[in-house]
Structure formats: C-alpha cells, structure tokens
Amino acid sequence: MRHLSVPSAQTQHWLEFCRSEKWLAEHTGVSTLDDGNKAIPLNDSAPADGDAVWMGLAMIILEAKAKTPSHWTEHLDPELYLLHKEDWPKAYETQGDVLIVKLEDSIWDAAETMADAMLTQLPSVRLVCADLGVQGDFRVRNLHPLASRDGTVDTRTRIKENGYLLWVDPSKVYFSARLSNERIETLATAKRLSERLNRGIVVADPYAGVGPSMGALLGEPGLLDGYHAGDLNPDAVDLLSENLTHLAQKRKDVNGDVAPLLHPSTVVCSDATTWALDESMKGSCDLLLVNLPHDSIEHLPHVLPLLRRNQTSVLRGWAIVERAQEEECKRLIEDAIIQAGGRTESLGLHEVKGFSASKSFVCFEAWIELAE
Ligand SMILES: C[S@@+](CC[C@H](N)C(=O)[O-])C[C@H]1O[C@@H](n2cnc3c(N)ncnc32)[C@H](O)[C@@H]1O
C-alpha cells in the first residue's frame, strides 16, 4: 500500500489534509519508519508519487498496518452493529473488574456477543453483567452475568478510590463510584472539625455500606481517634469489616509511624435508628454521617443523639428531595436539631447531582452544638 513519508512534526498537518481530500486509506493507521518519519496510508484516489501536491515528500510502499479498534463496537460483526445501530449501550460502569451495563430490550438477543466484544476491547474487565435495576430494602442491583473472561461469575471485586482499596460486590451491596468527590469533601469537613476541637475525632457512619467514607477518613494521619461504623445489610457489614481491618492496618500517625489503636472501633450490623439506645454509643461521636438518601431526614431524630453534647459537632448527610422543596428540607433538618436539644451554627445544603426531572440528590452539612 502507498504511504506518504512525512517528518514526525508534520504528521497532524498531512493527516488532516489527506483526510479532508478523502485520500486516507481506511482500516489502517499511521506507522513509524526507521528514520523517525511517519508513514500515512493513502487510498487509490490520492495523486501519484511526484505530484506537486506532495511538496517533494517521498512516497513508499508498505504493508498496511492493522488499525487497533478503539471502541468495543468495532469488534462486532458490521451487519449486527448496523442492525441495532441506535440501541447499543452508550455508557457502562465498572467496579473493579466487573462491568455493569444497562440494555435496551432490542439488544437482549445480541447481549452475549456484545459482552464478548467488551471483553475483547477491555483487558481489565473479567465479568460483564446486565443491570436489571435495583431491588430489595438495601437497594442492591439485580445483575445478570453475560460473559466472563475466566468462567467465574462472582461479582465480588476490589476497587481503588482516592488512593485506598475497597472490596465491593455490586450484586450484594450498594456502592457508587460517582460519589467519590463526596468522600473528599467529608474528609475536608472532618479535618476542619478536628482543627476546631484541637484533637482527633470520633466518627459515626451508621449507613456505611462497604465503607468508602471510612476509607477517606482512616487514610488521614492523626485525624480519627475512633469510629462506629455499620449497616443493616449483613453482606455490606462483611465487606465493611474486611475493608476496615485493611485500612486500620495501614494507618500512620502524623510522624509516619504506626498509628495508635482506634477507640472505639465498633462495627455493627443493626438498624441505625437503634444505635443511640446503646449507652456506649450515645453521645460518643463528633461527626455523624447520614447516607440513606430516601430516608435521611426521617432518621435524624434517631441518630442525632449519637453526637457529643456541649461541644461543636458536625452532621453531614445526603438526601433526595423535590427540587422546589430544598428550603423545606433545611427547615426539617433544623427542626430535628432543635428537637435533639441543639443549636445550629451553620447549615448548608447543595445539589450534588440530578436525580430525576423533579428531584435532586443533595448534600447537607450542619455545624451544631447539642446542649446537655
Ligand atoms: C445509599 S447507601 C450508602 C452506603 C455508603 N455510605 C456509600 O456511600 O457507599 C445506604 C446504606 O444504608 C444501608 N441501610 C439501609 N437501611 C438501614 C438502616 N435502617 N440502618 C442501617 N443501615 C441501613 C443500606 O444497606 C446501604 O448500604
């Protein structure tokens, strides 16, 4: 195949020129020559060697270099691709080596072929699953395995977020990588609180899932004195325990030495609304995380008593609220703080992401002081 040999620095210019003239050969790419020049593949309609248009550049004959596909759809049979052109999934999510994808009904007959194409394109993926929606009280995804690289269909896998490792299992426990920025914000808040109190803090994370917030907090030297973490979903608590053990082992103090043991270091599988009935937990925390977005506000009266009294403490939570009801939501949060015997120093609420046309997913943060 004819190739135009161009100095490396001019590659982009000549590629664009040949593309605009429709002289580029299809299904093949640019190669690097021994002298450092780049070889641009040309089709039969490109002018002959020596034409003035090439400005004296040499033409050479090379074998066409196979172009590596840049998208999984390029591994599909072209006829099959065109048959469902508009319906192939445009996006997918990965958790560790598990790929999760929502499918249009029209794609189901070709779902396995699609999953094989994804495995071919994405070497870090082991298992491709169709997402059939959330189910049950713990809002866990119903996943249907479509294709596996090694025959295993276990959805337990490990992810890395903001530098820490977490075991997750998308078919058993809720986890959203899209909220990783929230964990960074939680860490920033915890650091401000620790500076304000001038000591390490104790956090309560009663809706912890696999523990992503704990990952962010435990990674910060000297920040935490202790924690109460838990979830009502037993599968979540299994993964949470494993993650906390690993995160705690890696902890360092501010000098980079092995950090002192955390106290408390409670992991519980129980309804968060019952935690404050336990005298050892009541009034024991400086920072309270409330992440049950559909019910966070209703749960506040039950969990606020976990915060220490007669000092500044922080409530940080997430909720799904009607767009027009954000002020009403703030009022409900303030009411719950007053009912708990508290005074609000500041209360912020902002949208993190859209949830539906009428609802938004918000984060709220209140700096408060509960009286004795
Ligand atoms: C939205 S998820 C948040 C998980 C985790 N904090 C995260 O950011 O990935 C809510 C979690 O609360 C748990 N949950 C639901 N009801 C609960 C309750 N009454 N008490 C404690 N945990 C509960 C669910 O199992 C789920 O893991």
Q: What is the mean pLDDT of the chain?
A: 95
254-270 per-position pLDDT tens digit? 898 989 899 999 999 99
Q: Is the pLDDT of residue 64 over 90?
A: no
Are 97 and 160 within 8 A, CB to CB? no
Give 115-162 pLDDT, tens digit per residue: 999 999 999 999 999 999 999 989 899 999 999 999 999 999 999 999
| CA pair distance 47, 225, nearest whole angstrom | 74
Q: What is the pLDDT of residues 312-361, one digit of tens each?
A: 999 999 999 998 899 999 999 999 999 999 999 999 999 998 788 899 99
Cβ–Cβ < 8 Å for 267, 229: yes
Terminal Cα-to-Cα distance of the chain (whole angstroms): 84
What's the CA-to-centroid distance between 138 and ligand 1, angstroms?
7
Distance CA 131, CA 144 (A): 7
| Residue to probe by mutation, ligand 1, list 139, 207, 318, most atoms within 8 Å of CB | 207
Where do we find the tokens 């396995």?
112
Q: Model's pTM, two decimal places?
A: 0.84
- pLDDT, one tens digit per residue, over 199-224 is 999 999 999 999 999 999 999 999 99
Block residue for tokens 């966070």? 296
Instruction: Between 136 and 297, name the one with better pLDDT.
Output: 297
Cis amide prior to 264 (ω within 30 degrees): yes
> 76, exposed or middle or buried, with CB in 10 Å at 0-12, 13-18, 19+?
buried
pLDDT of residue 258: 87
31 vs 195 pLDDT, higher one: 195
Q: Which pLDDT value is given to residue 117?
A: 97
User: If pLDDT is split at 50, 70 and 90, which confidence band does 27 have?
Assistant: confident
Mean pLDDT of 226-238: 98
Supply angle C-alpha 197, 268, 224, rounded to 5. 25
Q: Which atom of ligand 1 is closest in space to residue 138's alpha carbon?
A: 25
211 CA → ligand 1 middle, Å: 10
Q: Which long-range contacts (CB under 8 A, 24 or more apart) does 348-357 make?
A: 352/179, 352/182, 352/318, 353/178, 355/320
E runs forming strands in 323-358: 342-354
Helix axes 326-339, 296-303, angle to 10 degrees: 10
Average of pLDDT values for 34-57? 93
Ligand 1 site: residues with CB under 6 angstroms? 138, 174-175, 179, 206-209, 212-213, 231-233, 236, 271-273, 291-293
| Mutation to probe ligand 1, out of 166, 176, 214, 232 (largest number of atoms < 8 A from CB) | 232
Residue nearest to atom 11 of ligand 1 (CA): 207
Compute, in angstroms, the gap from residue 321 CA to the centroid of ligand 1.
17
Share of residues in the chain with pLDDT > 70 (%): 100
pLDDT band, residue 3 (cuts 50/70/90): very high
What's the pLDDT score for residue 371?
94
Arithmetic mean of pLDDT, 12-30? 88
Structure tokens at 32: 């690097």
Query: Residue 325 and residue 247: Cα distance in Å, rounded?
Result: 39
Instruction: Dig out the tokens for 55 from the structure.
Output: 């400005």
